[in-house]
């Protein structure tokens, strides 16, 4: 089983790359964003709660996110592994993920981070906001708030995974194919 955390700030291309890599390596892609959007669209209890935080440009609380993630993993007991996209976002989430996976005799094999300059990310998100229907992609102040949240709460995970010896930074600028090649070079070593 191979379990990867695909990491990077909003707009770095995690979802796009995860879709390519899941097929290449026969893994299950779990995107917290996709799961949240499904719940929001269907106005589930979780979706209504998550929408309040997302609309404000804030992160959804750990407990809600962790329970949702556990449910997604448990839906796929025969999986060869997972690509976690958008999770974990805090050290407590990373620790909860490690504890949950260890119960299944599994672990995170690597955190692969897409590294992209912030100004380029703002442009990408504003462009995506024209067609995505995501309220948090249409307002630059909300986008900047997401980067602030990322930089203060999430980017510290680099240190967490680096201390374990399984952090890999990858240049996230270029064509989809170029970035996939860079990511695959890391995947193939894990």
Residue where the block lists tokens 């692969």: 112
More confident residue, 21 or 46: 21
Calculate the average pLDDT of the chain.
90
- Give me the residue spans of the domains in the chain: 2-185
Does residue 166 have a pLDDT over 80? yes
pLDDT at position 188 is: 95
> Is residue 128 among the annotated active site residues?
yes
State in words which class domain 2-185 has: alpha beta
pLDDT at position 35 is: 81
Nearest to 21 by CA among 82, 98, 109, 108: 82
Does residue 59 have a pLDDT over 80? no
The per-residue pLDDT for range 26-48, each reduced to its tens digit, is: 999 999 878 878 888 999 887 88
The per-residue pLDDT for range 141-161, each reduced to its tens digit, is: 888 888 888 888 777 899 999
Does residue 165 have a pLDDT over 80? yes
Q: Of residues 22, 51, 89, 142, which has the active-site annotation?
A: 89
> Is residue 124 among the annotated active site residues?
no
Helices marked H in the chain: 14-25, 32-41, 45-55, 62-74, 91-103, 118-132, 140-149, 157-163, 176-187
Q: Distance (Å, rounded) from C-alpha 106 to C-alpha 112?
A: 18
Give SS3 for 155: coil
Q: Of residues 14, 37, 142, 182, which has the active-site annotation?
A: 14
Q: Of residues 134, 153, 158, 164, which has the active-site annotation?
A: 134
> Is residue 41 among the annotated active site residues?
no
Q: Of residues 2, 51, 146, 182, which has the active-site annotation?
A: 146
> Is residue 134 among the annotated active site residues?
yes
- Beta-carbon neighbour count of residue 52 at 10 Å? 10
> Is residue 37 among the annotated active site residues?
no
């Amino acid at each position: 089983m191979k379990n990867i955390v695909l990491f990077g700030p909003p707009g770095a291309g995690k979802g796009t790359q995860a879709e390519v890599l899941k097929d290449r390596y026969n893994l299950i892609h779990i995107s917290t964003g996709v799961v949240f959007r499904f719940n929001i669209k269907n106005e589930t209890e979780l979706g209504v709660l998550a929408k309040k935080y997302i609309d404000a440009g804030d992160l959804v609380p750990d407990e809600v996110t962790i329970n949702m993630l556990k449910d997604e993993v448990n839906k796929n007991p025969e999986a060869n592994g997972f690509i976690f996209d958008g999770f974990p976002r805090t050290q407590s989430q990373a620790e909860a993920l490690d504890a949950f996976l260890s119960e299944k005799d599994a672990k995170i094999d690597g955190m692969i981070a897409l590294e992209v300059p912030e100004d380029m990310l703002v442009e990408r998100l504003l462009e995506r906001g024209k067609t995505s229907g995501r309220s948090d992609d249409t307002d630059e102040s909300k986008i900047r708030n997401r980067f602030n949240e990322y930089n203060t709460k999430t980017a510290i995970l680099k240190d967490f995974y680096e201390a374990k010896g399984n952090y890999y930074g990858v240049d996230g600028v270029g064509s989809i194919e170029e970035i996939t090649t860079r990511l695959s070079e890391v995947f193939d070593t894990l």
